Amino acid sequence: MTRHWTVKQAPRLDGHLALVTGATGGLGYQTALGLASRGARVMLAGRNPEKGFAALARMQNEVPGTDASFRLVDMASLDSIASFAHDLAQETDRLDILVNNAGVMGTPRRLETADGFELQFGTNFLGPFALTARLRTLLCAAPQGGRVVTVASLAALSGRIVFDDLQARRRYAPFRAYNQSKLADLIFALELDRQARTHNWPLHSIAAHPGWSMTDIAASRLGTKQGLQERLTRLGAIWAFRLMGQSAADGALPIEFAAMAAEARDGGYYGPDGWGERRGHVAEAIIPPAARDLAIARRLWAVAERLTGTALS
């Protein structure tokens, strides 16, 4: 791996089409910005048109002449994902890069997606699974094989797939649910690589995590009542991220590496190289044992296909 990798070291992507979910701010926007800076035609996907068009204007100002667009899709709705994928297939015959970035984190009380899934499991894992499944034909049509980047998290290290209560109906704890969803993302990325090799799909699956990055993902908490203890806990977490973490631009580097670098390997997992992988330069990330468990991966894959009504195998 190139030491101290930066986006400027990525190859030119002129003529490549890239889709980044959750691209209206934070890591998604920074990743889309990096792709645009290397010449890719970028689609910024999100569920908020106002934020989407604001992000698009910002990008066009930062990368003059970039070919970018905002695309409306709600990763918490299987109907929205299906409609988006159908429309995209009418517009293009290939997709070179898909970055599954959109997500929510630590909602204080249990919420559900439009399809009745626990919000974090549904948005962070089932949504990207369904989107990737519906776009697989376009990805496999890319001349160099489509590259799928799934954004995991350090939270995956503490995650556990609770098969008898995946939707946290019996017991809900905000970060227990978040950790499970991000472990599921990492399992998905690794299993997608295995499936691609098994079926000889021209598709490259790579995972990345941003370390501790100051982003607006905590905005998923807005609109819910918060007690004094939770507000103090959240304030403490913000200060911890500021002291030991990094900016969204730096946090996006492992994701951009996975999406663009020639050195990024299929089935790889990338993150910061600093203490605890919280910040630093791009490096290989630690994969927790649960993410390497083939029995868990195959079972989760089958569950995801059944729940989303899509097939990726």
Catalytic residues: 178
Tokens of residue 210, six digits: 């941003």
If you search the block for the tokens 């911890």, which residue do you land on? 240
C-alpha–C-alpha distance, residues 254 and 174, integer Å: 26
Report the relative pairing of strands 282-284 and 269-272 from DSSP bridges: antiparallel
- Cβ within 8 Å of residue 197, ≥6 positions away: 266
Sign of CA dihedral 145, 63, 29, 3: positive
Tell me if residue 68 falls in helix, strand or coil: strand
Tokens of residue 302, six digits: 């089958």
Q: What is the DSSP letter of 286?
A: P
* Cα–chain center distance at 112: 19
C-alpha–C-alpha distance, residues 186 and 100, integer Å: 11
Tokens of residue 73, six digits: 């899709």
Q: What is the DSSP letter of 112?
A: B
The one-letter amino acid at 103: G
- Cβ within 8 Å of residue 265, ≥6 positions away: 206
State the virtual CA torsion across 129, 132, 136, 141 in degrees, nearest 10: -160
